[in-house]
Amino acid sequence: MLPRLAITLPEQGVLDPAALFAQPPQAVWLEIGFGAGEHLAEQAARHPEIGFIGCEVFENGVACLAGEIACRGLANIRIFADDARLLLDRLPPASIGLVFALFPDPWPKERHHKRRLVAPATLDRLARVMQGGGELRLATDDPGYLAWMLEHLTARPDFHWAANRPADWRERPAGWPATRYEEKARAAGRAPAFLRFIGRRPPAT
């Protein structure tokens, strides 16, 4: 199935994400690091009007998602089996409505922090491709990475943390399917955190 699902970046110019789908979607959502794909497949099944792009570098995860797509008969998912930053750099501004990055590798050793997904360069890319009012959803069960995420995102004027009370980040919101990583964290006694940030477009000049 992969030749039909895989995204190939154009040699020149930008990639129109809506053009990847046979039926023009109402919006395009992106998941970075979809793991085995259970969250992405469930979201696609719940929202057939949305086009979904999943990024994952691990072959086993891509194969698992392809199996989910086949079993569920999903027509609204496309796969980029490479570094998500390459895709982000080719997307037009304000072309993505919602971004998921759920339980990314925390790279806990300080010398590895530069490898973290939530970092200034990647956030710059996301701020550019996300629509105004679009949403960035993050989840982690690592306290150090949680503090890192909040430190980097709350300092930015282009993202607003959509939390008004502790339950807004301690409890998984409705409409946010669980993943196997969340289940593993809870089984090990770790409490996941769920963060929602709303993108802000810069004022017109």
- Given 83, 105, 141, 168, the catalytic residue: 105
Gap between the Cα atoms of 5 and 160, Å rounded: 33
- Token pair recorded at residue 95: 């072309």
DSSP assignment of the chain:
-HHHHB----SSS---GGGGSSSPPSEEEEEES-TTSHHHHHHHHH-TTEEEEEE---HHHHHHHHHHHHHHT--SEEEE-S-HHHHHTTSPTT-EEEEEEES-----SGGGGGG-SSSHHHHHHHHHHEEEEEEEEEEES-HHHHHHHHHHHHT-TTEEE--SSTHHHHSPPTT----HHHHHHHHTT---EEEEEEE-PPPP-
Residue 16 appears among annotated catalytic residues: no
Task: Name the residues annotated as catalytic.
Answer: 105
